[in-house]
């Protein structure tokens, strides 16, 4: 199961929980009517706890996500790696057709014309890494391909009417 | 002081009527796009992207008009707002929309509604259509800024300047505030203040970018920094999208109390929540640039943190308060109440999808896949459109002598929300399988999911069409002698 499919499952769990709460509240309109003052008295107590729980959850999630940011640290940038230039242009990627397996690669991604996005799909079709390809700038993307096979780079930033055909297949591993 | 004079009603009807009519047309345009991706409606890539550009730009304008009209009506009841100024604003936006429609439908402009520089100048469409599109968007922005200025001025005048409109003393010097007898802004005044202030800032950045692009259009030697342009684009576009939601959410503050027969007061939590929303809305746009690794690092952290925290005021204050209003209220489930309440669900569910995408490590797998339109369609169609339609129905139901039968309410609900769920899940599943957004021809499993989504969208549109017919029936059920609008704060 790809990361994104796991995210879909997570989304469905959270969304179902939220919808269940809304349905329960909607159902309560069929119960005997309560005075607004009474509802507020109980509601404010729940709200205080909800506020605390939500803020703590969000801050913890933020802290937990930081180590997984894709941006290269200064140490990683200096570590030995194969530098691979990628030039994007309407509607092609200019880059090598074969790359090594299990070796750190730093893609140096730029564009000759408009904004593009260099999205890498593995042989199973999962989107495993991406970075924007911008004119006048070079973005550095560090990737290690652990599995050999046929990978595909697709443009993920709309770049004109040929956007959907802008793709490049490359082989990881082998001679 | 509550006024619901004929002028207010007509201005609101003009804005919301135009907004909803354009939204309906754009639903058909959106259906065409999905059907094309499904392989059911052949379109050339040029046609596909021109319609996509039209769809995105016009939906934003349409829902903005709904929010502007609704909020203007609410605030006109307690502040001094000129109908003439608002009509000029409307004319400006309408002229801009006509230019955008001409540029896309007749000129084939396909630089998308985000028109990321320098794409508008590198397209296969005629050069005049780029100019027409840019001038159109500039006119829309001028109209928007005029509305913001009018709203901001009215709110500041009515509540004693910036501190009064922010309810500063109400929060920090409560006893002195109570003793002063100064007016406390009602809940809907905070989205009005936010729309006025944040909207002005967003408008300024849009104008700055718009002028730069028009100059570039006139003189190809002019260079525009793409990162600068991207920041400005997403700052104004994201802020506009957020303000649309917040403006339409203001209708909840009046609509739900009417439907439930309960009161909605300004509280400290509500005020502080809106302060937070005003600030966070300006900083969470950075999440659109996570994959621009040249963006200064601190902005990426700020983007994730502020995107996360923007969920707090929404869910803790507005949504939670709305749930407390409904809880054991004995609310009658009229179509107005159903649409408005379901809009809250769309807002929350879309927000969950947005928060997942706003997490940097997850964004690597979701950025610019169909997950993005999945979440924003959830809170635009499943939230904003439902708030606007719900408000229209509450207004109709408050004056009509006719009532909607239970069977029809069930039928409309099932078709609209069932179809919407299928339509949206097509986007979410495709996003999870890495299908890129904005592809005229999608890789698998995109086309198969687009088929399912097209069926869902068709069912949803049938549901909305039935609701429209029922709305017309209710409208013809008004008593002979026209009375005042009955929707007032607290029922």
**3-state SS track over B21-48:** HHHHHHHHHHHHHHHHHHCCCCCCHHHH
Instruction: Mention every residue, 6+ apart, whose C-beta is less than 8 A from residue B242.
Output: B198, B281, B284
Contacts of A133 in chain B (CB under 8 A): none
Residue B2 banded pLDDT, cuts 50, 70, 90: very low
| Nearest residue in A to B260, CA atom | A29
Cis check for the bond before B354: say yes or no (omega within 30 of 0): no
- Measure the CA–CA gap between B133 and B264, rounded to whole angstroms: 43
**For residue range A92-101, what is the model confidence (pLDDT) as tens digits?**
999 999 999 9
Chain B residues within 8 A of A25 when measuring between CB atoms: 323, 326-327
- Please list every residue in chain B whose beta carbon sits closer than 8 Å to the beta carbon of residue A118: none
Query: Smallest Cα–Cα separation from B297: which of A152, A11, A66?
Result: A66
Q: Let me know if A173 is exposed, middle or buried by CB neighbors in 10 A (0-12, 13-18, 19+).
A: middle
Closest CB to A10: pick one of B123, B301, B356. B356
* pLDDT one-digit tens code per residue, B3-36: 467 899 999 999 999 999 999 999 999 999 999 9
Q: Which residues of A touch B230 (CB under 8 A)?
A: 115, 134
CA distance A159 to chain B (A): 7
Give the Cα separation of B278 and B194 in Å (integer).
Answer: 6
- Contacts with B, A 79-118, CB within 8 Å: 90, 113-115, 117
pLDDT band of A77, cuts 50, 70, 90: confident
- Is A127's CB within 8 Å of B365's CB? yes
Is A50:B311 a contact under the CB 8 Å cutoff?
A: no
Tell me how far apart the alpha carbons of residues B450 and B430 are, in angstroms, rounded to a whole number. 8
Q: Which pLDDT band holds residue B487 (cuts at 50, 70, 90)?
A: low
- Note the pLDDT of residue B74: 96
Whether residue B482 is predicted with pLDDT greater than 60 in this model: the reply is: no
- Residues belonging to chain A: 175
Which positions ≥6 away from B464 have C-beta within 8 Å? Answer: B24, B27, B389, B416
How far is it, in rounded angstroms, from Cα A159 to Cα B375?
22
The tokens describing B234, both together, are 């997403």
Geometric angle at alpha carbon B61, from B131 and B391, rounded to 5°:
170
Cβ pair B383, B341 in contact under 8 A: no
**CA gyration radius, chain A:** 24
Q: Work out the average pLDDT over B301-318.
A: 96
Mark yes or no for CB contact B292/A156 under 8 Å: no
Q: How many angstroms separate the CA of residue B177 from the nearest CA in chain A?
A: 23
pLDDT tens digits, B178-214: 999 999 999 999 999 999 999 999 999 999 999 999 9
* Residue B291 pLDDT exceeds 60: yes
CA–CA dist B7, B180 (Å, integer):
33
**How close does chain A come to B172, measured CA to CA in Å?**
19
Q: What is the pLDDT of residue A72?
A: 85
Q: Most A CBs within 10 Å: which of B434, B440, B443, B445, as the mutation test of the A interface?
A: B434
Contact A25 B326 (CB under 8 A): yes
Q: How many angstroms separate the CA atoms of B146 and A81, rounded?
A: 54
pLDDT digits (tens, 9 = 90+) for B395-452: 999 999 999 999 999 999 999 999 999 999 999 999 999 999 999 999 999 999 999 9
Chain B CB contacts of A158 below 8 Å? 49, 112, 114, 116, 119, 438
| Tokens of residue B79, six digits | 């502040």
**Mean pLDDT score of chain B, rounded to an integer?**
95
Q: Does A2 touch chain B (CB under 8 A)?
A: yes
Residue A135 phi, psi dihedral angles, 5° rounding: -65, 145
Phi, psi of A130 (to 5 degrees): -160, 160
CA angle A49, A54, A59 (to 5 degrees): 130
Choosing among A116, A152, A161, A168, which should be mutated to test the B contact, i.e. which has the most B CBs within 10 A?
Answer: A161
Q: Do B330 and A113 touch (CB under 8 A)?
A: no
User: For residue B124, what are its two tokens?
Assistant: 């296969």
**C-alpha span between B161 and A80 (Å, rounded):** 60
| Bridge partner list, A85 | A108
Interface test with chain B among A63, A125, A157, A166, by most B beta carbons within 10 Å: A157
The Cα-based distances of B447 to A44, B41, B42, B444, B454 in angstroms read 48, 12, 13, 6, 10
DSSP state at residue A113 = S
Residue B262 main-chain phi, psi, to 5 deg? -115, 170
Looking at residue B490, its pLDDT comes to 43
Q: Which CATH architecture has domain B6-475?
A: Up-down Bundle (1.20)
- Mean pLDDT confidence for B357-371: 97
- Distances in Å between the Cα of A160 and the Cα atoms of A155, B47, B49 are 11, 12, 8
For residue B165, what pLDDT is reported?
97
- A113 contacts in chain B (CB < 8 Å): 118, 122
Q: Is A35 in CB contact (< 8 Å) with chain B? A: no
In the predicted structure, residue B243 carries a pLDDT above the cut 50: yes
Q: By C-alpha distance, which of B417, B385, B405 is closest to B474?
A: B405
Cβ distance B225 to B237 under 8 Å? no
From chain A, the residues in CB contact with B312 under 8 A are: 51, 54-55, 58
Mean pLDDT score, B452-464 = 98
Q: Is the pLDDT of residue B488 over 90?
A: no
Rounded (10°) CA dihedral B36, B41, B47, B48: -10
Residue B484 contacts residue B77 (beta carbons within 8 Å) = no
Chain A residues closer than 8 Å to B367 by CB? 117, 130, 156
Distance between B365 CA and the closest CA of chain A, angstroms: 6
**Tens of pLDDT along B268-286?**
999 999 999 999 999 999 9
First to last CA, chain A: 30
pLDDT digits (tens, 9 = 90+) for A3-45: 999 999 999 999 999 999 999 999 999 999 999 999 999 999 9
Q: What percent of chain B has pLDDT over 90?
A: 96
**What number is the ipTM of this complex?**
0.96
Residues of B in contact with A127 (CB under 8 A): 364-365, 369, 434
Q: Are A126 and A2 spatial neighbours (Cβ–Cβ below 8 Å)?
A: yes
Where exactly are the structural domains of chain B?
A: 6-475
Listed in sequence order, the DSSP H helices in B290-334 are 297-309, 311-312, 320-326
- What are the C-alpha distances in Å from B316 to residues A46, A53, A54, A167, B2? 10, 11, 9, 44, 28
């Amino acid at each position: 199961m790809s990361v994104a499919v796991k995210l879909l499952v997570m989304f469905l769990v959270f969304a179902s929980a939220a919808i269940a709460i809304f349905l329960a509240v909607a159902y309560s309109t069929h119960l005997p009517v309560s005075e607004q003052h009474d509802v507020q008295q109980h509601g404010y107590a729940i709200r205080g706890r909800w506020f605390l729980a939500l803020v703590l959850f969000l801050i913890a999630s933020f802290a937990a996500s930081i180590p997984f940011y894709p941006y290269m640290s200064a140490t990683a940038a200096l570590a030995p790696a194969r530098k691979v230039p990628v030039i994007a242009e309407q509607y092609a990627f200019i880059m090598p057709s074969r790359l090594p397996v299990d070796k750190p690669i730093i893609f140096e991604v730029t564009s000759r014309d408009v904004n593009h996005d260099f999205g890498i799909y593995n042989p199973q079709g999962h989107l495993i890494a991406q970075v924007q390809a911008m004119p006048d700038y070079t973005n550095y993307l560090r990737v290690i391909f652990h599995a050999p096979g046929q990978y595909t780079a697709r443009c993920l930033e709309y770049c004109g009417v040929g956007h959907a055909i802008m793709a490049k297949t490359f082989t990881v591993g082998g001679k | 002081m509550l006024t619901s004079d004929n002028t207010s009603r007509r201005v609101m009807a003009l804005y919301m009527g135009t907004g909803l009519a354009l939204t309906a047309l754009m639903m058909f345009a959106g259906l065409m796009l999905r059907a094309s991706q499904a392989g059911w409606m052949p379109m050339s890539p040029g046609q596909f992207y021109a319609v996509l550009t039209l769809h995105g730009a016009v939906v934003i304008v349409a829902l903005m008009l709904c929010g502007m009209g609704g909020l203007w009506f609410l605030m006109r009841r307690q502040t001094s707002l000129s109908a003439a100024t608002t009509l000029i604003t409307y004319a400006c936006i309408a002229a801009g929309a006509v230019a955008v429609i001409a540029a896309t439908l007749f000129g084939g402009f396909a630089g998308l509604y985000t028109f990321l520089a320098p794409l508008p100048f590198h397209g296969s469409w005629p050069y005049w259509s780029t100019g027409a599109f840019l001038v159109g968007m500039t006119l829309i922005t001028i109209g928007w800024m005029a509305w913001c200025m009018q709203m901001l001025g009215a709110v500041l005048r009515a509540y004693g300047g910036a501190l009064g409109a922010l309810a500063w003393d109400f929060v920090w010097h409560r006893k002195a505030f109570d003793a002063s007898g100064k007016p406390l802004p009602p809940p809907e005044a905070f989205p009005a203040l936010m729309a006025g202030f944040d909207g002005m800032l967003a408008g300024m950045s849009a104008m700055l970018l718009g002028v730069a692009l028009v100059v570039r259009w006139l003189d190809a030697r002019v260079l525009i920094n793409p990162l600068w342009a991207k920041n400005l684009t997403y700052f104004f576009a994201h802020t506009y999208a957020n303000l649309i939601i917040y403006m339409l959410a203001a209708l909840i503050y009046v609509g739900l109390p009417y439907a439930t027969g309960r009161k909605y007061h300004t509280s400290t939590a509500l005020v502080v929540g809106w302060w937070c929303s005003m600030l966070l809305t300006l900083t969470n746009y950075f999440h659109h640039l996570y994959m621009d690794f040249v963006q200064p690092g601190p902005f990426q952290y700020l983007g994730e943190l502020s995107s996360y925290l923007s969920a707090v005021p929404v869910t803790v204050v507005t949504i939670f308060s709305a749930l407390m209003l409904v809880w054991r209220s004995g609310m009658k489930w009229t179509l107005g109440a159903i649409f408005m309440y379901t809009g809250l669900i769309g807002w929350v569910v879309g927000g969950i999808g947005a928060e997942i995408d706003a997490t940097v490590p997850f964004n690597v797998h979701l950025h610019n896949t169909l997950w993005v339109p999945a979440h924003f369609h959830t809170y635009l169609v499943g939230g904003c459109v439902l708030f606007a339609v719900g408000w229209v129905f509450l207004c109709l139901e408050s004056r009509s002598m006719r009532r909607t039968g239970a069977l029809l309410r069930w039928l409309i609900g099932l078709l609209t929300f069932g179809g919407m769920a299928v339509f949206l899940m097509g986007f979410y599943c495709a996003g999870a399988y890495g299908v890129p957004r904005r592809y005229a021809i999608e890789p698998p499993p995109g086309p198969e999911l687009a088929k399912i989504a097209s069926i869902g969208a068709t069912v949803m549109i049938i549901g909305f069409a039935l609701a429209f017919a029922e709305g017309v029936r209710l409208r013809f059920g008004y008593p002979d002698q026209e009375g005042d609008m009955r929707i007032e704060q607290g029922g």
